[in-house]
A and B are shown apart, each in its own frame.
Chain A
């Protein structure tokens, strides 16, 4: 199941459409890290609204995406984690530490717009 990635201005938006296997998640990670430099994106949004399970592997992969993209000089926001998914993640012990999250796509875009000019500062506040 391929995740479509759209370019909107300086941002890449990856919208997960359905359940992803571990292999799909790894592919999404690799594609995003490559695409971010290819299109010189300043920000990446991963929309996980459609995911009904975010387990330890998915969390680790999403975290890796954010860290790798930060090393490439761009910022990542994970948007749309559903309430019951958030509940299960916390019970399991998963936190997405150091990764920006927003309620939905709109909030995610607003977050990137706010932080667009202060990237270096943003990195510090996330540590």
Chain B
């Protein structure tokens, strides 16, 4: 949680447990609410909701269950929204490959992770093969 402290938490977090299709929809709706609470314009709330959708679907598809944690954060007077997607699934064997456009082990488009990185300002991923994956992304208000 070190990163979180440095960013400066300004609101309670919202946690959405993810283990089926409809959780993906409710996670992105909660993210949209939080982003508009934070004063993000509608383009940015759509961006945040889309990123959440990709990350939550990855949990359902690859890890079966996990959690999306949404937080309003602050850094040097800038406000933003942080999305953490955490699971204890099989992990990613090769993160370099997973970050490449068009690479997918599930027959998808292979745009989820690289696309999410393009959508958001900050992107961090840690994955322990066999133990799980944590993706943390942030978008700052312009």
Interface residues of A (CB under 8 A from B): 19-23, 52-57, 59-60, 82-85, 87-89, 91-94
Contact = CB atoms under 8 A, between A and B. Distances in A.
Contact of A56 (B28, B29, B54, B118): B54
A55 B111 CA distance: 10
- Looking at chain A's contact residues, the main secondary structure is helix
A92 B50 contact: yes
A56 B24 contact: no
6 contacts: A52-B49, A55-B50, A56-B54, A56-B112, A87-B46, A92-B115
A88 B119 CA distance: 7
A21 B46 contact: no
B109 A53 contact: no
B43 interface: yes
Given A52-B32, A56-B115, A91-B119, A23 B21 contact: yes
Given A19-B29, A22-B24, A84-B43, A92 B116 contact: yes
B126 interface: no
Interface of B: 21-22, 24-25, 28-29, 32, 42-43, 45-47, 49-50, 53-54, 57, 101, 108-109, 111-112, 114-116, 118-119
A20 B108 CA distance: 18
A88 B47 contact: yes
A93 B116 CA distance: 10
A91 B50 CA distance: 10
Given A55-B53, A91-B118, A92-B116, A85 B111 contact: no
B101 A84 contact: no
Given A52-B49, A55-B54, A91 B29 contact: no
A33 to B, nearest CB: 19
Given A52-B49, A56-B54, A22 B21 contact: yes
